[in-house]
Structure 1
Amino acid sequence: MHTDPNCIFCKIAAGQIPARKVYEDDELIAFHDIAPWAPVHILIVPREHIGSMQEVTEAHQALLGKMMVLSTRLMRELGVTNGYRHVVNTGADGGQEVPHLHLHVMGGPRPWNKG
């Protein structure tokens, strides 16, 4: 599995930087966003360093599906009962701030309206 020693998400996945984890296994790690846009805002991150959706291939289909299924489970476990939003920012023009593929999952009242 490819990792990037300079990537903050690779460092979180390796346990080198602390995070408020809500899930981890051999492929994925999920943790609370440090600058949340909603009452519940988690990131689901592959342990493998994938720079963005632009680097995704057919070989990543199962991983991407697992991320989506996991998001539903985690929102339920975190008490989100009235809907949530999925966001994947891709590249600079797409608003991606960390060059490592990650899925934002935001729940609670109107999570897209940052106060």
Structure 2
Amino acid sequence: MTNVNEKIIICIFLGSIVDAFTTYILLRISIGEEQNPILRRLLERYGERALIFWPPIETALTCFFAFITAHIFTRNYEILTYIIISIPWIASAYNTAQIVSILIRQ
């Protein structure tokens, strides 16, 4: 049986994979419309190979900034857990909405 921390890590990792996949689809259908400055810089420097680096970078940044934000604004670590888990899933939902919007415009 896995403990709670392993489940949290798995949920964040799966959310980041879904987010990276939707980012990849978004990049394929909307060339030049990428809003993320870090990913834009990586794409300029490394081309499409940057998408290989993106999931671990995104996972690390998501965990870091979610932890800092939750730690600064609240001392409740249960809320911290929910924030950390939800951020990659919210980002993937936002990417999916952008994909649908672009496909409707075309």
Q: TM-score range by the shorter chain?
A: 0.3 to 0.5
Which structure ranks higher in relative contact order (CA pairs < 8 Å, sequence separation ≥ 6)? Answer: 2
Question: Normalising by the residue count of structure 2, what TM-score does the alignment of the two structures yield?
Answer: 0.34
